[in-house]
Structure 1
Amino acid sequence: MAKPRCVITAELMEPYLSQIKDMCDVTVGGWALEKRLMSEDELIGLLQGAEIFIVEFEQVTARVIDACPDLKLIMCVRGNPVNVDRNACTARGIPLLYTPGRNANSVAEFIVGAMIALIRKIALSYHELRSGRYLGEPKDNIYDVTYRDDMVWSMNDPGANPYIAFKGFEVFGKTFGMVGYGAIGRKLAKILQAMGMRLMAYDPYVPPEELQADGIEPATMEEVFSRSDFVSIQCKVTEETKGLIGAREISLMKPTAYFINTARGVIVDQKALMDALLEKRIAGAVLDVFWEEPLPANHPLLQMDNVLITPHIAGASSDVPVQHSLMIADEIARFVNGESPKRLFNKEIIKS
């Protein structure tokens, strides 16, 4: 029996790519080959005759789907396949698969690292040193040193004492509140509990008993915002979550609390958060996602010392492609063997 033709524009890792090649007649292109996104017309040309399409970043529009009559399966290697037209897939009877939790470890570890980098002023102190502050005079020979028993940094220099300027606090015993308790939350909870933090979470789709079994206090949105030392947004973008966090929620935060968003900017009201930061009504924020990306060069966030911003890299781990490659190879095997998929995104296709 002939192998199904499979087009891959996603980054897939070995040994899983070879496993897929054993099961399918594979063509690799687009982002996977050239690190550029293909246009609609390019995708349509590449997908002619293909039954399976494995995509990561390219926009798979209704026009693309309608122009490729042989497509039987579309697989997106993301936790939320927003770049694929779900309705068009369903209308054609095409299962849309995804890779839930593929970057859960990566994002969870990033949240912990960024949180500590901000509150312990690690990133700020590094920036200040690189900018020339708190340094001694240049030396001809940096290896010509005078040993002292008590080696400290500028302790007697008023206004130039990094020990005071960059003094932070510990997370032990602090309360971490989550909005959304999915794959990332579950990974994150284990790390934070090991660090001695108290956890609470708001997620209307997770039974309180499940949260309690994981050692997490079930809470309302209001309780998470009013009682937490850190509030972390970890929910997916849906019609329900767009604009979920606004001025009312942020106003409940303690003045010593920090806001963390590694989900999506659209979940949070930009002006409400910016006003709270500019007016120092909250202590600071960790932001990896924004309302417009790239962030405009004149955005006020770039001038704030109490904010740690990163360019949407919480999921940028070299281990993430390994995780999604494993899931994709598993789903290809199920497809080839005539089995039902495990990771179906457009579940409404079963009813239709």
Structure 2
Amino acid sequence: MTTRVLAAGDHFVLNRLLVDALRAETADGPGGPAADLEFAELTLPWPVEPFGRVAEVDEASGTEDQLIEALRGAEICVTQMAPLTRRILENAPDLRLFCVTRGGPVNANLDAATEHGVAVCYAPGRNADATAEHTLGLILAAVRRIPQTHVDLTGGRWRGDYYRYDDVGIELLGGTVGLVGCGAVGRRVARALAALGARVLVHDPYLDGLGDLAGIAELVTLEELLARAQIVSLHARATPQTTGMIGAPEIAAMAAGSIIVNCARGSLLDYEAACDAVESGHLFAAAFDVFPEEPVPAGSRLLTTPNVIVTPHLAGASKQTAANAARIAARDVARHLRGEPLVHCANPDVRGVPQRR
């Protein structure tokens, strides 16, 4: 029996990556005979065009009408950015599995999917290595003022005055770095920092212990982390509890001359307070890959405040991330086809889906 699959890729997670991963994971092997898959493809415009809100879901690319047409007869959809809205579900009666190749299925209406018997999967950890490496890059860029000195030199200015004691940064060797949140990304950052000789502090209320980070990091309260760390890097998830968790009082509690870095989510931090602290000299520098509004508005202080380094939400952008995302999703597709429990199902109460025990 042929199973129709829609690969709704974009200009990062390409359709060929999705199709190749699906073919590889459903080929002949220990799990049984190869699946008979019929592919349809739709290429969405992200990131050439920014994602946005589509009906009731966020961070999506494409339109409801595009998806309704492309999903005709499809049982499975694998995508990074396609929206899954109530209207789409009402017009896709054959759909049973919707795999989002992201760390969370923010572009899917989970309640409506559950009501329509559609399992929604996602790809946790797909970009953990890339984001950890980018975080380390921003830390080093901020500590050593790499972007500023590059701009000065290419602009014809040899800034030897950056060598003044008050203008130079610290070394990571022997320095203290605090990580707020210690999931897949935070743990990788902790190990990298420890390898460079830094003392690593961790605050994460969801951790019972450090596990494999024992002997590498120290678990502390947020208050202690802010007081002791020379560099604070944010790695918490965006939840109602973490929204605005680092504001003006928390920044004021950081040591004079310290640095703050955020490659997690823009909602965690008060950016106005951060800019104030950099301008006043309380913070040596700040480095951000995520923002409260994306794209960053043209008149934002983040673009003009000296010693604030910004990158356009691309910490997770690597070729390995795109391949990992396709592979993680394809494995759950293979489980679905074999009637096995899904590993990364966001709505496990959906009817007709085997449950993990």
The interval holding the TM-score normalised by the smaller chain is 0.7 to 0.9
1:197 Cα deviation from its structure 2 partner: 0.8
Q: 1: distance between equivalents of 2:80 and 2:7?
A: 9
Backbone CA RMSD of aligned residues: 2.5
Quote the offset at 1:100 in angstroms.
Answer: 0.7
The CA distance in 2 between the partners of 1:234 and 1:270, in whole Å, is: 16
Gaps of 5+ in 1: 135-158
Query: Match of 1:338, as an amino acid?
Result: G
* Partner Cα distance (1:4, 1:32) in 2: 26
Q: Which stretch has the larger CA shift, 290-299 or 60-69? A: 60-69
Name 2:214's counterpart in structure 1: 213
C-alpha displacement of 1:190: 1.4
Secondary structure in structure 1 of the residue aligned to 2:2? coil
SS of 1:28 mapped into structure 2: strand
Q: Where does residue 347 of structure 2 map in the other structure?
A: 346
CA pair 162-244 structure 1, distance change in 2 beyond 3 A:
closer
CA drift at 1:20: 6.0
Structure 1 residues 211 and 251, CA gap change in structure 2 (3 angstroms): farther
Whether 1:87 and 2:111 are equivalent positions in the alignment is yes
Change (3 A) 1:52 1:343: same
Is 1:52–1:72's contact at 8 Å kept on the other side of the alignment?
A: yes
The match for 2:145 is 121
Specify the alignment match of 1:25 in structure 2.
38
Partner Cα distance (1:32, 1:21) in 2: 28
Indicate conservation of the 8 Å contact 1:9/1:33, yes or no. no
Counterpart-to-counterpart distance in 1, 2:239 and 2:43: 28
Given that residues 8 and 32 in structure 1 are in contact (C-alpha distance below 8 angstroms), is that contact kept between their aligned partners in structure 2?
no
Structure 1 pair 303–319 and aligned structure 2 pair: CA distance change class (3 A): same
* 2:76 maps to 1:52: yes
User: Residues 274 and 207 (structure 1 numbering): CA distance in 2 closer, same or farther, change over 3 Å?
Assistant: same
* Structure having the larger proportion of residues in strand: 2
Cα offset for 1:298? 1.8
Structure 1 segment 191-230 matched on structure 2, within 5 A: 191-210=192-211, 213=214, 215-230=216-231
1:250-308 C-alpha deviation (Å, 9 max, x unpaired): 22111121111111111222333233223222222110111111111221222223111
Match of 2:8 in 1: 9
2: CA distance between counterparts of 1:256 and 1:41? 52
- Residue 67 of structure 1: aligned partner: 91
Q: Matched residues in 2 for 1:254 and 1:205: separation?
A: 26
Q: Deviations over 1:131-158 (max 9, x none)?
A: 1212xxxxxxxxxxxxxxxxxxxxxxxx
Deviates more, 1:197-206 or 1:211-220: 211-220
Task: Go from structure 1 to structure 2 and tell me whether the alpha carbon gap of 1:215 and 1:197 turns closer, same or farther (over 3 Å shift).
Answer: same
Could you tell me which amino acid in structure 2 is paired with residue 51 of structure 1? E
User: What percentage of residue pairs aligned between the two structures are identical?
Assistant: 34
After TM superposition, the structure 1 = structure 2 runs for residues 174-185 of structure 1, keeping only pairs within 5 Å, are 174-185=175-186
CA distance 1:176–1:346, shift in 2 (3 Å): farther
CA contact (8 A) 1:49 1:70 kept: yes
The number of residue pairs the alignment matches comes to 327
Residue equivalent to 1:290: 291
**TM-score (norm. length: structure 2):** 0.84
In structure 1, C-alpha distance between the alignment counterparts of 2:25 and 2:339, rounded to whole Å? 15
The structural deviation recorded for 1:238 is 2.1
Q: CA deviation at 1:32?
A: 7.9
Contact 1:283/1:306, CA 8 A, preserved across alignment? yes
1:42-84: CA deviations, max 9, x gaps?
A: 1111112211111112232222223212111111111122111
Larger radius of gyration: 1
Quote the residue 2:30 is aligned against. Answer: none
Shift of 1:179: 1.2
What letter is aligned with 1:282? L
Q: Find the aligned partners of 2:101 and 2:47 in 1 and give their Cα distance.
A: 17
- Structure 1 residues 34 and 108: CA distance shift in structure 2, 3 A: closer
Specify the code of the residue in structure 2 equivalent to 1:239. Answer: P
Q: Closer, same or farther in 2 for the Cα pair 1:281/1:34, shift >3 Å?
A: closer
Contact 2:187 / 2:213 at 8 angstroms: preserved in 1?
no
Distance in 2 (CA, whole Å) between partners of 1:107 and 1:214 is: 23
